[in-house]
Amino acid sequence: MAQPSSPTVVSRTTLARPDWLVQFGHRLRLARGRAGLTQQRLAAPDLNKSFISLLESARSYPSVETVISLASRLDTSVASLLFDADELRRETAHNLLHLAWLLDPATRGEEALRLADAAGALAGGLPPEMRARAVLVRARVAMAASRLGEAAVAANEAAALARRARHARALGSALALRGVIDERRGQYRAAIATLQRALGIMRRTSSVRSEEGVWALLSLAAAFGRTGQAARARRAYRQALAVATRLHLPRMRGRALTGLGMVEWMLKRLDEAVSVFSQAYAAFEQDEDLPEMARVLSNLGLIRREQGLYAEALAVLERAARLRERQRDARGLAATADETAQVLLAMNRLAEAARAARRAIELGRASGDRSRQAVATMTLGQVLRAQGRRKEAIEHLQAAMVQLRRLGMRPHAAAAQVELDLTRDQRPSGVAATR
């Protein structure tokens, strides 16, 4: 900590001293008394008694370093020296809400909710803008737990509170969160309208250059991408990347780069996509974000497969699998096993492909991921057809198609139907199947 600075002495000719300075001196004197310290002992070792006297009589302005140092010596808080009881309750409630907002809602959601509740109890009824922030904490925790309906209700409540308080920054935050929720629910056009409105408010209040602003830009870009608006998606991802870089947020920077990689992939600019995904991996590696690192590697593996670079694809997917094993991520491992099976199928390494597909099915079943289980069943059906095991292939493809339809995965179900028709049209080869 920097050493406390020398006092700035208030001139004797000054007719009125600021009230906060007078109150600070009074609280400092009371705190010193409670601690049982003389002015000399409080000043030691790097200040002097006359400085403490000047502060207590409001004849000197303390620096930030001085207030922090004195609070530490008195075993009290900075806020207790600066605020009266009502101000202190409000300031503490602000700090509790700030801490709740900083916590990861996915891993520390219950703690965030307790802090938000404590803020409300402490302040004895928060003002509308602070109540809006407390409700947004609930919305974020619900969203992280995939309770999107509950999250949407809370985001709407926060927006209503912000409107009543005419608090633009809180309204921008509430609308941004509602837009993110809409994007995650697949309501892309509604998300675009809400997020554009939120970002307009954030720009007017100079709050777009924040982590919340980056989240809003990322969701807006994703919604543009889902509705086929590649150019607008690229612009939004680049804006998110610029803000995340400026704020030194490696995880957010990685997500912006991942989005840009997805846009390049969508436009069939595969070499550019590989380059951007590699940058995303480096950003996530800096933040030691293993789940995102694994996802980027999976995408790289799929691109390499699409390019026909099967050996590279397998090597990348093996790295993704190792990361997911470290996390004990059964759902992620199921996805990687299925992707590996598809590469091995393309390489005509059919026995290995069958083993990988069966492992994907088992992992999908163990993790409760029915969608991955169904997709891997379709992959296994393709492998069995390539092995000449037509009857088994038909059984697996039919089962996959039924399950995919039941899950509402229409494009996958249509693909399974095509594979099933191809298999039914295939004449038995009479070649012994290899296992």
**pLDDT tens digits along 233-242:** 999 999 999 9
Place 5 in a pLDDT band, splitting at 50, 70 and 90. Answer: low
**What pLDDT score does 14 carry?**
47
pLDDT category, 10, cuts 50, 70, 90? low
Condensed to tens digits (0 to 9), the pLDDT of residues 260-306 reads: 999 999 999 999 999 999 999 999 998 889 999 999 999 999 999 99
pLDDT at res. 434: 41
Assess if residue 19 is contained within a domain: yes
pLDDT value, residue 430: 47
pLDDT at res. 409: 86
Considering the domain boundaries, does residue 365 fall inside one? yes
CA distances from 63 to 67, 143, 287 (A): 6, 42, 35
Between the ranges 33-47, 313-327, 402-416, where is the mean pLDDT highest? 313-327
**C-alpha triplet 186, 195, 188: angle, nearest 5°:** 20
Token pair listed for 284: 């996530």
Token readout for 117 is 């509740």
Q: What is the mean pLDDT of residues 14-18?
A: 66
Q: Which amino acid is at 283?
A: A
Evaluate if residue 433 carries a pLDDT over 70: no
Q: What is the pLDDT of residue 246?
A: 95
Q: Does 259 have pLDDT greater than 90?
A: yes
pLDDT in tens, 374-432: 999 999 999 999 999 999 999 999 999 999 999 888 888 999 999 999 999 876 654 44
Q: pLDDT, tens digit, for every residue of 190-215?
A: 999 999 999 999 999 999 999 999 99
Mean pLDDT score of the chain, rounded to an integer? Answer: 89
Q: Looking at the predicted structure, is the pLDDT value of residue 102 above 60?
A: yes
Least confident of 14-23, 60-69, 211-220, 290-299: 14-23
Q: What is the mean pLDDT of residues 5-16?
A: 52
* Gap between the terminal Cα atoms of the chain: 68
Alpha carbons 19 and 313: distance in angstroms, whole number:
69
pLDDT score, position 4: 60
Of 12, 108, 25, the C-alpha closest to 70 is 25
172, part of any domain: no
Residue 149 pLDDT: 92
Whether 74 maps to a domain, the answer reads yes
List the domain range (segments joined by +) for residue 410: 346-435
**Percent of the chain scoring above 70 in pLDDT:** 94
Which of 58, 82, 106 marks a domain boundary? Answer: 82
Does 428 fall in a domain? yes
Q: What is the 3-state secondary structure (H, E, C) of the chain?
A: CCCCCCCEECCCCCCCCCHHHHHHHHHHHHHHHHHCCCHHHHHCCCCCHHHHHHHHCCCEECCHHHHHHHHHHCCCCHHHHHCCHHHHHHHHHHHHHHHHHHCCCCCCHHHHHHHHHHHHHHHCCCCHHHHHHHHHHHHHHHHHCCCHHHHHHHHHHHHHHHHHHCCHHHHHHHHHHHHHHHHHCCCHHHHHHHHHHHHHHHHHCCCCCCHHHHHHHHHHHHHHHHCCCHHHHHHHHHHHHHHHHHCCCHHHHHHHHHHHHHHHHHCCCHHHHHHHHHHHHHHHHHCCCHHHHHHHHHHHHHHHHHCCCHHHHHHHHHHHHHHHHHHCCHHHHHHHHHHHHHHHHHCCCHHHHHHHHHHHHHHHHHHCCHHHHHHHHHHHHHHHHHCCCHHHHHHHHHHHHHHHHHCCCHHHHHHHHHHHHHHHHCCCCCCCCCC
| Range 217-227 burial, b when 16+ CB lie within 10 A, else e | bbbbbbbbbee
| pLDDT confidence bin for 93, thresholds 50/70/90 | confident
Model pTM? 0.73
Q: Is the distance from CB of 173 to CB of 154 less than 8 angstroms?
A: no
Task: Point out the domain boundary residue: 82, 114, 138.
Answer: 82
CATH number at residue 27: 1.10.260.40
Instruction: Write the single-letter amino acid at 150.
Output: E
Question: Is residue 156 over pLDDT 80?
Answer: yes
pLDDT at 431: 45
| Residue where one domain finishes, among candidates 30, 64, 82 | 82
Peptide bond into 62 cis (omega under 30): no
Residue found by looking up tokens 């069943």 in the block:
377
The average pLDDT across 161-182 equals: 92
Q: Is residue 161 part of a domain?
A: no
Identity at 111, one-letter amino acid code: E
Q: What percent of the chain stands above pLDDT 90?
A: 65
Residue at 307 is within a domain: no
Q: CB 313: neighbour CB atoms within 10 A?
A: 25
- Residue 197 belongs to a domain: no
Given a cut of 60, whether residue 250 has pLDDT beyond it is yes
Count of domains observed in the chain: 2
